[in-house]
Structure 1
Amino acid sequence: MSFRVPTILAASGLMVLGACTDPSMNGGTGTGTGMSRTQQGALAGAALGALYGVSRDSDSNNEGRDAARGAILGAAAGAVAGNILDRQARSLQQSLSNPNIQVVNHGSYLQVVLPEGILFATDSAAVSGVAQNDLYAVARNLNQYPNSRVEVVGHTDNTGSAAHNQDLSQRRAQSVANILAAAGVQSGRLAATGRGFNQPIASNDTASGRAQNRRVEILIRPTN
């Protein structure tokens, strides 16, 4: 590959990034680096597109041209995907009434974190009436953006046996998934999984840490 290929790749990526600047991005849907997910998607798409363009060059005579074409097409596709996630995350955050629900845009998927205290009574898998309103808001958002698969994952702290916590986390995840399905999300898009206490996000040595670990996460992964 000649030295012109990375030069063209960089220029193409910067060109698309300049065209898709979104200065309004902040909070849970932004990156904290001055680049929106749209811009990050464009840059990643440009890099992958350039590599694909070079790999498709059969005679190696037009590497620069093929890389540039691939970079531009890849950047466009990446920007579209990133922009969709940006918009979905903003819409979802605005639709939720409980400020303790987190919506995190990871660039390739969205993560909705619902603490146990919002959803369930102690050692119960029955979703509270108030929490159901927010789950219906999540379902409406999922129906507005149908091109995704949705994984509902239950988590607990380490109080009690591993078997009990595994069962509780599975039942809680299934309860949330059932409400999303009842609100109109196609069951084929939904999967419910219990992780017990195997994936803590805080120390189980403190009450506050255990409270953070008791949660249900909704992971929204685009399919195209």
Structure 2
Amino acid sequence: MMSVLKPSILLLCAVLSGCALSGDKAREVSQKKAPATSKTLAKAPAVDKAWLDAAEQRVRKALTGSAFSVERRGEALAIIAPADRAFNPDRPAMLLPVSLRPLTQVAKLAAADPESAVLIVGHADSRGDAAANRLLSLERARSMAAIFRLSGLPGERLVMRGAGADQPRASNANAAGRAQNRRVELLLTMRSGLPTLLAQQQR
């Protein structure tokens, strides 16, 4: 029990103190880069299906009972964290303690597999100022990225960005749709598949 509690306490302290990642530890992707061409995407190495199958089984087991959901999305696993259930409503970039255990379990799985890479993308709904939404979505991505760094995932295998309201999952015209759009997505793939994910984010 102590081996589980100690890392969780350390992680909580790091998140509560506003732990941010510097540029030399993890990469942040700007949305203003030029989009990749179809030729670039075609050259990207394919992700091994057997690797993805095994990773999905481990991730789903790690997230059992949590508020997170998992989707198979092309050559990646998309782990979706609803912001309303993962972050503090009074301090919207701060992770709730209930999120730490499932996040840490997934982060340890990624760190232990030298073939894995993670792209973390924060999302917001369309209400309010667009620049503020983009900043909040990036801050939420940073908070989750901090868990992965503390779990030992090297910076070259971890990328984050804030998409703001640019990639909605549902309509922003109603409360239920906006709640779906407020989220952070953890995209787990092989290192060879990371360039493809990044290119897709720039389109």
Same fold at TM > 0.5: yes
Match of 1:127 in 2: 95
Q: Which runs of 4+ in 1 moved over 4 A?
A: none
Match of 1:137 in 2: 105
Match of 1:168 in 2: 136
By percentage of residues, which structure has more helix? 1
The alignment partner of 2:48 has SS state of helix
| Cα distance, 1:99 vs structure 2 | 4.3
Q: Is the 8 A contact 1:110 1:220 kept in 2?
A: yes
Structure with greater contact order relative to length (CA < 8 Å, sep ≥ 6): 2
Match of 1:101 in 2: 68
Q: 1:82 aligns with which of 38, 49, 54?
A: 49
* Root-mean-square deviation over aligned CA pairs: 1.9
Match of 2:153 in 1: 185
Deviations 1:125-163 (A, max 9, x none): 011111011110111211233213211000010111001
With the length of structure 2 as denominator, give the TM-score of the two structures. Answer: 0.67
Instruction: Give yes or no for the alignment of 1:220 onto 2:191.
Output: no
With the length of structure 1 as denominator, give the TM-score of the two structures. Answer: 0.61
Q: In percent, how many aligned pairs have the same letter?
A: 36
Alpha-carbon separation, structure 2, partners of 1:82 and 1:107: 10
Match of 1:6 in 2: none
Change beyond 3 A, Cα 1:202–1:216: same
Unaligned 5+ residue runs, structure 1? Answer: 1-76
Match of 1:206 in 2: 174
Letter of the 1:137 partner, please give it: Q
| Cα distance, 1:177 vs structure 2 | 0.3
Match of 1:29 in 2: none
Match of 1:149 in 2: 117
Alpha-carbon separation, structure 1, partners of 2:124 and 2:60: 24
Larger radius of gyration: 1
Alpha-carbon separation, structure 1, partners of 2:80 and 2:169: 11
Alpha-carbon separation, structure 2, partners of 1:134 and 1:118: 13
Q: Is the 8 A contact 2:126 2:165 kept in 1?
A: yes
